[in-house]
Every structure is written in structure tokens, then in C-alpha cells.
Amino acid sequence: MIRDIQDEILRLKKEKDVCILAHSYQAREITEIADFTGDSYALSVKAATVPHRNVLMCGVRFMAETVKILSPEKRVYLANAIAGCPMAEQMDRDMIAAVKEQYPEYTVVAYINTTAELKTICDVCVTSSSAVKIVKKMKGDKILFIPDCNLGRFVAEKVPEKQFKLLQGGCPIHARVRQQDVIKAREQHPDALLLVHPECQPEVFEQADYVGSTSGIMEYAKNASANEFIIGTEISIAEHLQYDCPQKKFYPLTKELICPNMKATTLVDVLSALRGNSGEEITMDEQTRMAAKKCIDEMIRLGG
């Protein structure tokens, strides 16, 4: 049954010249039919270069918006229209415009998990895998980091020579994890390395053996000589790793690390979107696109 749906998807995407991009959190049956799977940074870089006329994003809305910003000539679709990232909706343009007035000498660094509209008034975007590198390289040394204060704290610790202003935003899923969860997981799996996403709170990431993006965590676990890992990010990453490395053992840091938005997209949604029956085409006025593009271009320039 799954194989039949996948075969139909492969046939349709070829016929309709569609590139399917999938975030690393997507289910295995989706990553299997995707042209490319990766973290937010890798997806952004890929989006700028794929030759297809159409792109179908299996991930969340800001990821599809990023593709549209970089490739306006393509028709870009979000496979399931309800898949948004709650963090991306936490701060809007007016709110940040007001904060900027208070701190005019600060460079605004926006996590890519923001709306296209908010990006229009930011200076540079970052992703979890590129944030430290970009903040180190960029000119300004006073940084207003939005919206994720946990990622902001992580970057601030790695770049102590710069001054940071953080606001109260972040991922509601990763922020649930507490130090107590780390203590419990370490007790249960004393030989395992702890790998976490920087959207977790400092009390969690400061205990980790490795902190990185979804792709960074996967790469680290695959290449490490260790055999057991506690995975502190969305539960799908532990599942993918267990599938890819059956000889190693992967334990989710907590079973609550489930992002319903990333789980919203199903294989049937992908088929239905390719048939034109669901999904949503991303549209954007040219002024917004051009203004948002500046900070994504800057991210790719400094992150490369």
C-alpha cells in the first residue's frame, strides 16, 4: 500500500516536474520519495539551485516561504497547509520594529523560523547549524537575536566577544525538556552520549556531549565510535537514526519531543498535493519577497 502510493508520487512528480524537499523531521516514507532531505540550512541552499519548475515542501510554512523567496519563478507548494511553526508566529513586524527603535545600534539576527514579513526588517537570517558561524563572521558586535532565546543563549555562549539582546520566544516543543529529563535519561543509559538541538533550554544543552541541528545530530551519531545516544530533538530523529544504524542504540531524551506541525504532513498529503487536490501554493508580493531575500542572501553568503 505505502509502496503503491510512493510509486504514484514518483510518477507524478516526474510528469509534473516537481522537486520534493523534505525536512529531516519528516516521516521515513516521505524522505524516501523526496529529492532532497536536510536541515533548514541545507534546504535553503538547495532551494536556490534546484532546476525544477515546481517545488513541494514537506515541512513547515516558513520553509516553503524560504523557497519562494529564493526562487520566485517557481511554483512553490506546502504539502499540508496547516503545517506552521508556532515559533515563527510568536513575533511580528510591528513588535520587532518597536524593539529596533529602542536599540537602533543593534543588528537584528533572525532565526529562519520567522515569517517572510518579519524577515523584511531583519539584517541577517541564521539556522541552528549556521548561527554561530554567521554571528562570528558578521560585522556588528551588538546583536538583537530573535525569536528563540535558547538558540540565542547558545550562540551568545559561543561568541562571548559580542553583546546580545534576547527576547522571550522559542520552540514550545524543545522548551518542554528540563534538566530533570537529562538526569533521568543519563541514569537509564549511563553509556550513551547526549546529543541535543540548541532550541532546548540552557539547563539541557549545557549538559550535552554535542549540540547541533537535526542534520548535525544525525551526522554526529553516525560517525561517532560510541554505540548509544540519547537524542534531544523531535522524536523522528531518533527513529531515523535507529533505522539507518541498526547496530547502534538511540533513545529519545523524552517521549514528549513531538512536533505536531512536523507530523501533520502525511504521504497521502503529498500525493493529494501533487494531484492538485490539497496543499497550498505559496504566494508573496514582490516587495516583501525582495526585502526578506536580503537577509536570506546574507545568511547564505556568510554561512557558506
- Residue among 71 and 236 whose Cβ is closer to ligand 13P: 236
Out of 259, 271, 282, 299, name the contact with ligand SF4 by CB under 6 A. 259
Out of ligand 13P, ligand SF4, none, which partner does residue 128 contact, by CB within 5 to 8 A per kind? ligand 13P
207 near ligand SF4 (CB under 6 A): no
Report the 10 Å Cβ neighbour count for 91. 19
Out of 29, 54, 86, 202, name the contact with ligand SF4 by CB under 6 A. 86
Out of ligand SF4, ligand 13P, none, which partner does residue 40 contact, by CB within 5 to 8 A per kind? ligand 13P
Residue type, 131: A
State the cell numbers at 164: 546580545
Question: Binders of ligand 13P among 99-128, rule CB under 6 A?
Answer: 113, 127-128
Task: Quote the CA–CA distance of 166 and 41 in Å, as a whole number.
Answer: 22
Give the three-state DSSP class for 101: helix
> 51: cis peptide before it, omega within 30°?
no
282 near ligand SF4 (CB under 6 A): no
Out of ligand SF4, ligand 13P, none, which partner does residue 298 contact, by CB within 5 to 8 A per kind? none
Question: Binders of ligand 13P among 126-185, rule CB under 6 A?
Answer: 127-129, 171
Out of 20, 34, 45, 60, name the contact with ligand SF4 by CB under 6 A. 60
Cite the DSSP H helix spans in the chain. Answer: 2-15, 28-31, 40-47, 61-70, 93-102, 116-119, 131-137, 149-158, 179-188, 202-205, 214-223, 235-244, 260-263, 267-274, 286-303
262 near ligand SF4 (CB under 6 A): yes
Interface region with ligand SF4, contact rule CB under 6 A, candidates 49-57, 245-253, 256-264, 269-277: 256-264
24 near ligand SF4 (CB under 6 A): no
Q: Binding string, 201-230, against ligand 13P, x = CB under 6 A?
A: ------------xx----------------
Report the 10 Å Cβ neighbour count for 276. 11
- Residue among 192 and 218 whose Cβ is closer to ligand 13P: 218
90 near ligand 13P (CB under 6 A): no
Residue that has been written with the C-alpha cell 539584517 in this structure: 123
- Min dist. Cβ of residue 113 to ligand 13P (A): 6
Out of 22, 70, 78, 87, name the contact with ligand SF4 by CB under 6 A. 87
State the cell numbers at 281: 501554493
How many CA atoms does the CB half-sphere of 229 hold within 13 Å? 31
The Cα-based distances of 271 to 17, 21, 23, 51 in angstroms read 14, 14, 17, 21
Which of 147, 188, 175, 154 shows the shortest CA–CA distance to 256?
A: 175
State the cell numbers at 103: 536599540
Burial of 246 (0-12, 13-18, 19+ CB in 10 A): exposed
- Min dist. Cβ of residue 228 to ligand 13P (A): 22
- Min dist. Cβ of residue 258 to ligand 13P (A): 11
Which of 67, 26, 41 shows the shortest CA–CA distance to 212?
A: 41
Tell me which residues touch ligand SF4 (CB under 6 A): 60, 85-87, 113, 171, 173-174, 199, 234, 259, 261-262
- Can you give the binding site for ligand 13P, defined by CB under 6 A? 39-40, 85, 113, 127-129, 171, 197, 199, 213-214
